Structure 1
């Protein structure tokens, strides 16, 4: 995977955190958007693929078509267009998505194809070879992580892990984080305060970015490590007033108030951590293994960068994935056999081997772990830390009643004013509960 491709992948993930299908359900009123349909041309099957542009440039598309013996009609990922196509039953054959946060939403609405029968017959993709992260693509109607498998991750990371700059730690005369034992969130915040640099009253070098994949998932992970859950057992409501969730919320309020890194109050002007970390303006970045692909492309940066386990808020060690980007096949796809042929090639063929060797993510198949880069000291350290972290992965169920973007929207609306006014965490929790539970109730009504 090229650097350009991966950078665009990250921008897409950032975009996905702010734009998504509305939590009010699928509307059939825009059915005309589904004019690009699957069909046959020139005697070949045409596979309609909804994905991002720079992962499928002309050269890559041509190679895929030759390998698969079919034509590929690429539709650029667009939540509104996908909404319309699904509602009109004119779905793409294959759709790119975030398994960790999207699977319950689409599966609960009956919009995804159960892949278990295909996997059972496949000689390429074996259930026993699928990394545990693929369980985020499972949903049994009540809980994520069990039940039918609706998609596969193309690669993944444990997204609360973080990268740090050894040169900045040395300059501040601070001990580097352990490569084996996770630090506490309080220790992490303290390090961020010591590493931040200001000039003329403004942050010149961020001490820490604590939310690589969005604030809401990070709060979910923190609450889980404290022994609780943001969502109720039925996933239909949130409760930020619980002791564990309020502890997580209080930590984020303290982080944002300290102004040591990007937050809902002061977002990073760069849009994401890549350019900032490369420009020597960030000491610690909360991004998973995939971020090493960016770092490793610059030998000088790789020489001063190291990887660390996910910080913990409590005694329940948790290190989850909030992305698991991959593909799924809509229920109403016209060419499901062709879609599965694409799956076997993309997830089990040469593309999967190339991704594994690139360092831009952990392979979705455990049999490909040995292909992860381990040549130089930087790669060896990251690989060792990552391998030790794998056993602490677990699925944290996301709700089927709202998308992450809607919940992030509430946080973006409520938290800045709360931080600036010093509103107590308990009162902020009440406001979040009220607004998010209203959204979730609307979504539940639509799902039935």
Structure 2
């Protein structure tokens, strides 16, 4: 049950938050002296933001002071530290989160401030200007995508889309994927096999990378593309043996088995696709529009790079979700809510948002900022045309509120390598994932109450 707004936060809820956060490295903050705002400072208020270093640069912190007269103190993001601060009644004023997976989790535990009253009064963030991707930050007590707003995405990509390098396609004699129609996942994998290059047992060129943002929400997205849902109607169970989820899991394990791209049994030494793609050692990368920020800066790579629609499964739905939607939310017990909202408006709708929109590192989450997306060069115009056509296929793929994506990811990584190496059947893997993940979800449901 979703507790009523204002209900006291039980210790059990915080223990639930804490337990689920164990999978996310908590060491980041050990030994750090924690600064917490204690009141008015300088010209205006001081607000505490719990973020990762890349979320808000030191330059932006200075710019906030100059633009809106609010001093920002940054605390490094750590779910363990967040739970400790909330339990002590001293939470940050704004917290970074990945909308696609964090919003239902924290909203169900009743620790997030409903932001509808703030949006209603804002002249900076107007409801009819919000891109539908911001619905990832809505939760009605049961399902993500509906109900009150609890946060906003800073920018986004449709993360099942992929970039490809036409020079590597030419070299391998493989036809380019169409830019107006999606290929099937089976065709994508076939192309990846033909594009892969190996020498002396080493992969010299990955044919394609397809790992999504995090495996649990990738599998949830693939299952919807296959025409089903990974989660039960009440989000309390997964079923990898259902035909659509089995198809999604089977395809992903096949991708890992064929070793056409990085996976947990064949890690990319660069740890992410960007540098490998840039070095012409990856023919396709399942990175959405945001990778254009890196591609545009490379004048040799940009003209040979193209963006393609999210693939489809034969007979399945055409869907092009966002698996991240990273942004900020406000804890219910935050002390500086009005000052925090002013930072929120500035970050999502003013100078920082305009700078992000024109950088190409993601699609702006305000529709009015879309004209700022890079379109000077022909190749940028081409990418924009593909991206704009894809926007109409966006939909929210609701994630469970009963477990963190990280905890489900840890379970997947425990069992999947054996299947990826061909030592376990996909059906056997599906059974293992069902029992372990459903146990985790059951505990989470009990904790939410």
Q: 1:405, 1:89 → 2: CA distance?
A: 25
Q: 1:284, 1:374 → 2: CA distance?
A: 22
Tell whether the 8 Å contact from 1:239 to 1:245 is kept in structure 2 after alignment: yes
1:34 Cα deviation after fit: 9.8
Once the two structures are superposed, residues 20-71 of structure 1 have per-residue CA deviations (whole angstroms, 9 ceiling, x without a partner) of 964279xxxx9x9995322222353111111122443332211111111121
Alpha-carbon spacing, 1:21–1:408, altered in 2? closer, same or farther (3 Å): farther
Q: 1:352, 1:83 → 2: CA distance?
A: 29
Tell whether the 8 Å contact from 2:222 to 2:248 is kept in structure 1 after alignment: yes
Q: 1:269, 1:162 → 2: CA distance?
A: 20
Alpha-carbon spacing, 1:43–1:375, altered in 2? closer, same or farther (3 Å): closer
Aligned to 2:6: none
Q: 1:199, 1:83 → 2: CA distance?
A: 49
1:290 partner SS: helix
Q: How does 1:187-226 map to 2 (within 5 A)?
A: 187-226=187-226
TM-score (norm 1): 0.92
Once the two structures are superposed, residues 159-208 of structure 1 have per-residue CA deviations (whole angstroms, 9 ceiling, x without a partner) of 00000000011111111011110000000000000000001012111001
Alpha-carbon spacing, 1:43–1:380, altered in 2? closer, same or farther (3 Å): closer
1:326 partner SS: strand
Once the two structures are superposed, residues 214-273 of structure 1 have per-residue CA deviations (whole angstroms, 9 ceiling, x without a partner) of 222221111101110110010011000000000011111111110111012112111100
Q: 1:214, 1:204 → 2: CA distance?
A: 25
Aligned to 2:404: 403
Once the two structures are superposed, residues 298-325 of structure 1 have per-residue CA deviations (whole angstroms, 9 ceiling, x without a partner) of 0101011110000112431010001001
Tell whether the 8 Å contact from 1:24 to 1:446 is kept in structure 2 after alignment: no
Q: 1:313, 1:84 → 2: CA distance?
A: 44
Runs (4+) off by over 4 Å: 32-35
Alpha-carbon spacing, 1:108–1:33, altered in 2? closer, same or farther (3 Å): farther
Tell whether the 8 Å contact from 1:44 to 1:69 is kept in structure 2 after alignment: yes
Aligned to 1:41: 41
Q: 2:390, 2:118 → 1: CA distance?
A: 31
Alpha-carbon spacing, 1:142–1:33, altered in 2? closer, same or farther (3 Å): farther
Q: 1:187, 1:352 → 2: CA distance?
A: 37
Q: 1:365, 1:129 → 2: CA distance?
A: 5
Q: 2:107, 2:58 → 1: CA distance?
A: 32
Q: 2:54, 2:287 → 1: CA distance?
A: 21
1:41 partner SS: coil
Using the TM superposition, name which of 171-180 and 138-147 deviates more: 171-180
Aligned to 1:345: 346
Q: 1:348, 1:42 → 2: CA distance?
A: 24
Q: Structure 2: any 5+ residue segments left out of the alignment?
A: 1-16, 23-28
Alpha-carbon spacing, 1:248–1:37, altered in 2? closer, same or farther (3 Å): same
Count of matched residue pairs: 425
2:322 partner SS: coil
Using the TM superposition, name which of 105-114 and 376-385 deviates more: 376-385
1:168 partner SS: helix
Q: How does 1:12-91 map to 2 (within 5 A)?
A: 22-23=19-20, 36-38=35-37, 39-42=39-42, 44-91=44-91
Using the TM superposition, name which of 47-56 and 390-399 deviates more: 47-56
Aligned to 2:234: 234
Q: How does 1:26-425 map to 2 (within 5 A)?
A: 36-38=35-37, 39-42=39-42, 44-314=44-314, 315-425=316-426
Q: 1:55, 1:423 → 2: CA distance?
A: 40
Instruction: Give me the CA root mean square deviation.
Output: 1.8
Tell whether the 8 Å contact from 2:159 to 2:323 is kept in structure 1 after alignment: yes
Q: 1:97, 1:398 → 2: CA distance?
A: 14
Tell whether the 8 Å contact from 2:43 to 2:69 is kept in structure 1 after alignment: no
Tell whether the 8 Å contact from 2:172 to 2:195 is kept in structure 1 after alignment: yes
Alpha-carbon spacing, 1:304–1:83, altered in 2? closer, same or farther (3 Å): same
Tell whether the 8 Å contact from 1:208 to 1:283 is kept in structure 2 after alignment: yes
TM-score (norm 2): 0.92
